[in-house]
Amino acid sequence: MSDKRVRVRFAPSPTGGLHLGGVRTALFNYLFAKKNNGDFVLRIEDTDQTRYVEGAEQYIMDCLDWCGITPDESPAKPGPYAPYRQSERKSIYRAYAEKLVAQGHAYYAFDTAEELDKNRKEIPNFQYGQVYRDGLRNSLSLPQHEVDQLLDNHTPHVIRIKIPADQTVSFTDMIRGRVSFETNQLDDKVLLKADGMPTYHLAVVVDDYLMKISHAFRGEEWLPSAPVHLLLWDYLGWKADMPQWAHLPLILKPDGHGKLSKRDGARLGFPVYVMDWENTQAGTLEPGFEGVGFLPEAFINVLATLGWNDSSGHEIFSLSELVEKFSIERISKAGAKFDFEKAKWFNAEWIKRSGAEKLKTRVEKVLTDKGITIKDDNYLLTVIELIKDRCTLLTDFYQQANYFFRVPAEYDLNAVKPKWTDEKTNFFNAVIELLKSADTIVAADLEASFKALAEEKGLKTGDVMLPFRIMLVGGKFGPHVFDIAALLGKDETINRIEQALTAFTA
């Protein structure tokens, strides 16, 4: 690596929800920057104003904050290379496009949308480029005086790059090695649109140069654009300052056939966005990993292992561990299948490894959103510690914890009533008397007394343990039943046994 300061950028378009593939690109940028004591830059690529969605930029920044990969420079935190929105840099780009025209590397094109559509319909595989450009309305085919007149009259036009014929354009990708392209396969991409906005091709090169970007990570779907960008770096005289590129492998559908899309998530029942995205145009709420109950640590861990590993066989990494262990050499060229069940496993592992104090705020929100009032923080922390190993998603805490805060609204009577007997009623009335005589409930002591009483009454412990659980929680789930009783306390346990006996004997 050169002595040049490491500066990387994540450059999303504010057009909707942030796809997990985009966040993985941001994550790899972040890890590489932090590993090399560099800068992680967020640049908003909003040059396509027709696709701009209100609120999407703030949503992108919220997603990165939630993930813990907050940029060093961004529209919200401007640095020395501001502004960080391309729409606010509009005045910068025309001069570079005009310079390319003056050098003979680009040209004005005056064709209307209707004329181009007519060509596409009449000519199979029509491309605006070497084969057809001389027969179209542009500054290469028209006399100079006519071009000058069209420009003087402010005739709508675009500026296109003039792709040279019969050349091979090559570069070394940090992941893929040497990559080459034949220019005869390329079309003359638009660099500056009729509204004066640059296209991605011009803007990404100009901005990366002006912002001193040293390394550019992007998805492999951008590989076909690489030769155009290589030519622009060369034509603008900046080749020596061109960033090193790494084209990341695709995140694939679970079956491995094609790139994962938001439609796949809707079809297969899992999120593909980071946070819930309110699609006001469609009138829908598109779920995100945060909304369905993922911890950010788990989500980042999942993304890091989609196309990268540290060769140790370990799978659980904190963000700081990822920074320490990250290397480009360990990124795969092949696409990585997304497995939602594996993603949930990561989340369950992170819940287990997280202390109750760390989980408290998020669990409290899950419970209060369902109408549960938390009156005692220490009680909540004890509940979390008792049940966290049973939760895969944060949303599971409601089902696993709600009975600690309120009496079950209903019971799994089918598991109890068919085998209910007067002997069991007598047994639980005896348990109530046992509890009344105790000062407090100690789980181990209650378990011993409960089993001894069952034996005394001629009952198998297993025949009364399940009803006891259902009395306390409503169903066949939860941690050790005597731990539940100890946490509920003497009075509440008695109350629940009495209420349940009424339902069981009705």
Same domain for 229 and 117: yes
Is position 16 within any domain? no
Which pLDDT belongs to residue 98? 97
Is position 199 within any domain? yes
**pLDDT band at 47; cut points 50, 70, 90:** confident
Q: If you search the block for the tokens 């929105």, which residue do you land on?
A: 85
Same domain for 456 and 470: yes
Name the token pair of 249: 């492998």
Which pLDDT belongs to residue 2? 54
What integer is the mean pLDDT of 482-495? 98
Same domain for 235 and 103: yes
Same domain for 131 and 174: yes
C-alpha span between 477 and 488 (Å, rounded): 16
Which pLDDT belongs to residue 359? 98
Is position 158 within any domain? yes
Same domain for 483 and 464: yes
The total domain count for the chain is: 3
The answer to whether 68 and 26 have CB atoms below 8 angstroms apart is: no
What integer is the mean pLDDT of 484-497? 98
Name the token pair of 406: 């309120």
Q: How many CB atoms lie within 10 A of CB 329?
A: 8
Q: How far is CA 71 from CA 31, 62, 175, 461, in A?
A: 11, 11, 24, 59
Which pLDDT belongs to residue 160? 98
Is position 415 within any domain? yes
Is position 440 within any domain? yes
The answer to whether 493 and 431 have CB atoms below 8 angstroms apart is: no
Name the token pair of 101: 């025209």
- Segment 196-205, tens digit of pLDDT: 999 999 999 9
C-alpha span between 215 and 175 (Å, rounded): 12
Name the token pair of 114: 């209707």
Among 190, 215, 248, the domain-final residue is 248
Query: Is the peptide bond preceding residue 143 cis, with omega within 30 degrees of 0?
Result: no
The answer to whether 303 and 24 have CB atoms below 8 angstroms apart is: yes
Is position 289 within any domain? no
Whole-prediction pTM value?
0.93
Q: If you search the block for the tokens 């450009």, which residue do you land on?
A: 133
The answer on pLDDT for 283 being more than 80 is: no
Among 375, 405, 435, the domain-final residue is 405
Same domain for 494 and 412: yes
**Residue 386, domain extent:** 354-405
Helix (H) or strand (E) run with residue 192 in it: strand 190-192
Same domain for 244 and 212: yes
Q: How far is CA 322 from CA 60, 273, 388, in A?
A: 22, 22, 25
- Segment 308-346, tens digit of pLDDT: 999 898 999 999 999 999 999 999 999 999 999 999 999
Among 248, 263, 298, the domain-final residue is 248
Query: One of 259, 262, 337, 342 is an active-site residue; which one?
Result: 262
Catalytic-residue membership of 262: yes
352 is in an annotated binding site: no
What integer is the mean pLDDT of 212-232? 96
Which pLDDT belongs to residue 72? 98
C-alpha span between 242 and 246 (Å, rounded): 13
The one-character DSSP state at 44 is: B
C-alpha span between 20 and 290 (Å, rounded): 12
Is position 283 within any domain? no
Any idea what the CATH number is for the domain that residue 452 is in? 1.10.10.350
Same domain for 132 and 231: yes
What integer is the mean pLDDT of 431-446? 96
Any idea what the CATH number is for the domain that residue 162 is in? 3.90.800.10
Same domain for 444 and 359: no
**pLDDT band at 48; cut points 50, 70, 90:** confident
Same domain for 211 and 176: yes
Same domain for 490 and 470: yes
Q: If you search the block for the tokens 């999942």, which residue do you land on?
A: 302
Same domain for 213 and 114: yes
Burial of 267 (0-12, 13-18, 19+ CB in 10 A): exposed
**Strand runs labelled E in 123-242:** 158-161, 168-173, 177-182, 190-192, 215-219
- Segment 468-483, tens digit of pLDDT: 999 999 999 999 999 9
Is position 325 within any domain? no
- Segment 129-159, tens digit of pLDDT: 999 999 999 999 999 999 999 999 999 999 9
Any idea what the CATH number is for the domain that residue 399 is in? 1.10.8
